[in-house]
Amino acid sequence: MPKEWVVVYSITDFITVGMLLTVVAMNSLKRMESFLRAYTINSILLAALMAVSAFYLDAAHLYIAAAVTLASKGVAIPLLLRKVVRSLKITHEAEPNINTPLSLVISSVLVVIVYSSLSKGIFIEGFTENTLKVSISIILISLFIMITRKKAVTQVIGLLLMENGLFLAGFSLTYGMSTIIELGVVFDVLMGAIILGVFLSQIKKTFIDLDLDKLTTLKG
């Protein structure tokens, strides 16, 4: 079978590990635009993964899903967020709650925990348990990034990263949900990003800052 090389060379694993690396790398990124770029790469890799499995499985609807993912997560959302970031004039993340070396260590510890405790799932053809483990790791690390960072924009990107992780997990366990559901999910994410963008501007307007520590004053 001519398409065997996908499995033989573990293409899917390469791509998922690439996604994991981008997320881990985001721990050390402080410039807003590079942070956003890492997210973009992550999304493009996700779309690529979907395209590869569509090619391997000969499933037309997965091509569509891959295309939609690329268009929304790889292009539309990064563009939107970049616009927000530029309009809000935030170029750098404030000093994170946990310093970079330590957060890198904690990220790797999270990956270790996931790898050591997650049991085997039931995967679609061409995927291994690595995919699931990587996707759970991505979810946990992006949650961890949300904890360490103080700016609201990074929180939003962290949330979107988590969404990528969830998407990956779902995708690796099923042959992709039916196209209409995938489209719905993508649309949801897009809407979420837009709403969060508006929120960011509002927070900035109200608190003069996007530093989330200020939100503590809302507590009764």
Partner 1 sequence: METDRPDKAVSVVNGEISSACYLLYAAGCLFLGLFSLRDLLFGYSWYLSLPLSGVLSLSFGGGGLSAYFVIILSLLGFCVSIYSVGYTKHSGGGSPWPSFFIFGIFLSSMCAVFYSANIPAFLISWETMSLSSYFLVVSDTTNIESSRAGLLYAVMTHVGTAFIMAAFMVMFFATGSLEFTAIKAGLAGAGGLRSVIFVLALTGFGTKAGIIPLHTWLPRAHPAAPSNVSALMSGVMIKSGIYGILLVAFNILGAGAGLSAAPLWWGVAVLSAGAVSSVMGIMHALMERDIKRLLAYSSVENIGIILLGVGASMIFSCNNLPVLAGLALAAALYHTLNHAVFKGLLFMGAGSVVNTTGTKNLEEMGGLIKRMPWTGLFFLVGSIAICALPPFNGFMSEWLTFQSLIMGIKTSVVLAKTLMLLSGAALALTGALAASCFVKAFGISFLGVPRSREAQAAKEAPAAMLLGMGILSLFCLLLGIFPGYILKLLSGIPLPVLGSLPQFVPGGLAVFGIGSSGVLPVTLLGSFLAGAAFIFVFPLAAGGGRKSTCADPWDCGIQKLTPRMQYTATAFTHPLRRIFKKIYKPRKEVRIEYIVKPFFTREIEYRSEITPLAEAYFYRPLVRALHGLAHFAKRLQSGNLQLYLGYILGTLVVLLVVWG
Binding site for partner 1 (CB under 8 A): 97, 110, 113-114, 117-119, 136, 139-140, 143-144, 146-148, 150, 155, 212-213, 215-219
In the complex, what is the shortest distance from the CB of residue 143 to partner 1, in angstroms, rounded to a whole number? Answer: 5
Residue with smaller CB distance to partner 1, 97 or 178: 97
Residue with smaller CB distance to partner 1, 67 or 146: 146
Query: What is the token pair recorded at 209?
Result: 């800052």
Residue with smaller CB distance to partner 1, 72 or 172: 172
C-alpha distances in Å from residue 32, one per residue of 88, 89, 103, 215: 11, 10, 18, 21
In the complex, what is the shortest distance from the CB of residue 113 to partner 1, in angstroms, rounded to a whole number? Answer: 6
In the complex, what is the shortest distance from the CB of residue 34 to partner 1, in angstroms, rounded to a whole number? Answer: 22
The contacts of residue 41 (CB under 8 Å, 6+ apart) are 18, 22
C-beta contacts of 51-54 below 8 A and 24+ residues apart = 52/6, 52/11, 52/12, 52/15, 53/12, 53/124, 53/126, 53/127, 53/171
Cite the beta strand spans of the chain per DSSP E: none
Residue with smaller CB distance to partner 1, 7 or 192: 192
In the complex, what is the shortest distance from the CB of residue 141 to partner 1, in angstroms, rounded to a whole number? Answer: 10
